[in-house]
Amino acid sequence: MIDQVQHLLPALAGGSRILLLMSGGVESSTLLRLLQRAGYAPEPFFLDYAQRAAAQEWRSVLAQCGQLGIAARSIPMGELGEALGELRPHRFHVPMLYRNLIAISVAASAAGALGIPHICMGITADDAAVDSGSRAETLAPLRNSLAALGRTLLLPLSELTKAEVVALGQDLGVEWNLSYSCLLGRAQHCGVCPQCLKRREAFRRAGLRSVDVQYARNE
């Protein structure tokens, strides 16, 4: 699987610094190892925007980065997330609409401050099919704006399904028990929230159910 995605990686000099937006889920966990395997220098950033699972996600990021000897940073955005969430008619596990747009903007500011030329995010073909903030027509203007600022937006997984990302992560040696996807923020994945269901289906399609996490409930 690794050989099949080499063309998705940017042609950058070895050791190039890349700000990786990392949540601890399947996609960003795979990207962390993919970028390192390719000889780049990923610098993971976690955004805490008052999502219900923030604490578990951050633990996942720290655990996976610690395995590889990579330092991770967290940017606290809880007040912003709470304020935006209060504008919505109901309380959601993920409070912000169009969070990819906000995340990329925050990453651009951080990258500018630290002199990091590239920003990387784990958006897949499955995401683009259901989320307007993950579609090419939404992201293309952002890419152009970042280019004008001397920054590059990298989306190496954009042509892959989540199941293909799982297969890639398995080849790269991702320890799935350290990753986290559940919306509820409990220590054990619930197994029935939308993100858990997508994860379960991806591992099933990849033929890798045996290496997935244990869920609290069956489908």
The token pair that represents 149 in the structure block: 């600022």
5-13: long-range contacts at Cβ-Cβ below 8 A with a sequence spacing of 24 or more?
5/34, 5/156, 5/160, 5/168, 8/156, 8/157, 8/158, 8/159, 8/160, 9/34, 9/38, 9/156, 10/118, 10/152, 10/154, 10/156, 12/40, 12/118
pTM (global) more than 0.75:
yes
Contact (CB, 8 A) for 29 and 179: yes
Please measure the distance between the N-terminal and C-terminal CA atoms of the chain and give it in whole angstroms.
Answer: 28
What's the fold here for domain 14-181?
Rossmann fold (3.40.50)
Q: What does each of the 219 residues of the chain score in pLDDT, given as a tens digit? A: 667 676 777 778 778 999 999 999 999 999 999 999 999 999 999 999 999 999 999 999 999 999 999 999 999 999 999 999 999 888 888 888 889 999 999 999 999 999 999 999 999 999 999 888 899 999 999 999 999 999 999 999 999 999 999 999 999 999 999 999 999 999 999 999 999 999 999 999 999 999 999 999 876
